Amino acid sequence: MSVHVVILAAGQGSRMKSSLPKVLHTLAGKPLLHHVIDSATALDANGLHIVVGHGAELVRNSLATTPVHWALQEQQLGTGHAVAQAMAEVPDDVSVLILYGDVPLIATQTLKALLADVDTTTLALLTVALDNPTGYGRIVRNAAGLVERIVEQKDASEAEQRIKEINTGIMAVSSNKLKQWLPRLSNTNAQGEYYLTDIIAMAVSEGMAVKVTQPRCEEEVMGVNNRQQLAHLERWFQKCQAERLMAEGATIIDPARLDIRGEVSVGRDVFIDVNAVFSGKVQLGNGVTIGPNCVITDTSIGDGTEIKACSVIEGAILGSNTSIGPFARIRPGTHVHDEAKIGNFVETKKSVIGKGSKISHLSYVGDAELGVDVNIGAGTITCNYDGVNKFNTVIGDK
């Protein structure tokens, strides 16, 4: 069956105490909702539906280029009501995967496992056992251990509140069934809401099977309701990324003081000192050394190059065995060839620094082309701007 993904993102997120809609707060430099969309996109789904409400305009604008069916839920009357808003655009005879815009780290692998279970006779549910299940919907099973229904915290009896297995909210279900069940939901419950979770009991009463899948870890299904939870997931995600780089052969002095807001690839024997921030696409070749407090964005760094402390580098190509910093500012369009050296308090922009050339101290080199083995003395500036046009400075070899 083909798959349509419905992402719920209408809630206000009042506990964030923010004027920004919750799903636009960032984790690793990317909005929460975009993390969910990226995981969903990796499934090759046939349609992506996003239910928005609070801050709908801002959320839509953040995704102007992604093909999405938007559904507006003007009043937040519950998760069942939210899904219902998207159903007009969801075709018959497909599987519907329901995700939350504020549960950013769900893994594609887990979603694939869930989708492997769903069909016209089986509903697939993602659950997890928590030491402290307070606040979540509980999975109620019968004497044979089969799932019977979900009860929300506020509607649960004392015995039900002792159940540790909780509803993550993520599930996959046939669109035909959803279209029958959603209009039958009622809001006569403790919160006066149309609960999506009530469809479980409906499925069971029709003799459908409910199959349960678990994520590989709790963080995958953790929601962000406040800034403490956001910080917790940020650190967890960063730790996972640090572990991946170490597994690929990088030494990281302190995995808790590394931040990757994009994609970083590493060769062997890369050494990363504390407080590195990488953004966008960064490639580090074999034997690259990154000193403390460096900020590196969209840059590729060749084998054996050393970036010394407190350097800021963006949009650059650095060759092999170059030396940059300390306190260097390398701006977009800089291409440093092999064995060149850029020292302290040097700013470069849109410039080619030839092989073996040196700019060791206190200089601005912009819109320049330096040949090989050029030596630029302290306090040198290249610039040629008449107020309208910029002209290149060309310096020959040696």
CB-nearer residue toward Ca ion: 16 or 87 = 16
Taking the complex as a whole, the smallest distance from the CB of residue 73 to ligand UD1 amounts, in Å, to 5
Q: Does 101 bind ligand UD1 (CB under 6 A)?
A: yes
CB closer to ligand UD1 out of 167 and 334: 167
Q: Using the 8-state DSSP alphabet, how is residue 71 labeled?
A: E
State which residue, 10 or 272, has the beta carbon closest to ligand UD1: 10
| Residue 100: count of CB within 10 angstroms of its CB | 23
Q: What are the φ/ψ torsions at residue 242 (nearest 5 degrees)? A: -60, -40
The reply on whether position 181 binds ligand UD1 by CB under 6 A is: no
For ligand UD1, the nearest residue by Cβ is: 137
> Residue 167 or 293: which CB sits closer to ligand UD1?
167
Cis peptide before 326 (omega within 30 of 0): yes
21 binds ligand UD1 (CB under 6 A): no
Please work out the total of residues on this chain that contact ligand UD1, with binding judged by CB under 6 A. 27
3-state helix, strand, coil in the chain (%, to 5): 25, 35, 40
Q: Is 77 in the site for ligand UD1 (CB under 6 A)?
A: yes
> Which 359-378 residues touch ligand UD1, going by CB under 6 A?
none
Q: List the interface residues with ligand UD1, window 183-242 (CB under 6 A).
A: 195-197, 223
Question: Residue 343's closest CA among 367, 297, 379, 302?
Answer: 379
By CB under 6 A, residue 82 contacts ligand UD1: yes
Question: Any catalytic annotation for residue 361?
Answer: yes
> Are 273 and 255 contacting, i.e. CB atoms less than 8 angstroms apart?
no
Binding segment for ligand UD1 (CB under 6 A), chosen from 9-17, 227-235, 246-254, 350-358, is 9-17
Cα(374)–Cα(357) distance, integer angstroms: 4
Q: Given candidates 55, 78, 101, 223, which one binds Ca ion under the rule CB under 5 A? A: 223
> Which region, left, alpha or beta, applies to residue 222 given φ > 0 means left and ψ of -120 to 50 means alpha?
beta
Strand 295-301 relative to strand 317-318: parallel, antiparallel, unpaired?
Answer: parallel
Among residues 31, 55, 104, 137, the one that binds ligand UD1 under rule CB under 6 A: 137
Encoded tokens for 32: 């929460």
110 binding partner (options ligand UD1, Ca ion, none; Cβ < 5 to 8 Å by kind): none
Length of the chain (residues): 398
Give the number of other Cβ atoms within 10 Å of residue 169's Cβ: 22
Q: Which residues contact 173 (CB under 8 A, 6 or more apart)?
A: 95, 96, 98, 118, 123, 124, 199, 203
- 102 or 219: CB nearest ligand UD1: 102
Catalytic residues: 361
Residues forming contacts to Ca ion in the complex (CB under 5 A) are: 223
Residues forming contacts to ligand UD1 in the complex (CB under 6 A) are: 8-11, 51, 73, 76-79, 81-82, 100-102, 136-137, 150, 152, 166-169, 195-197, 223
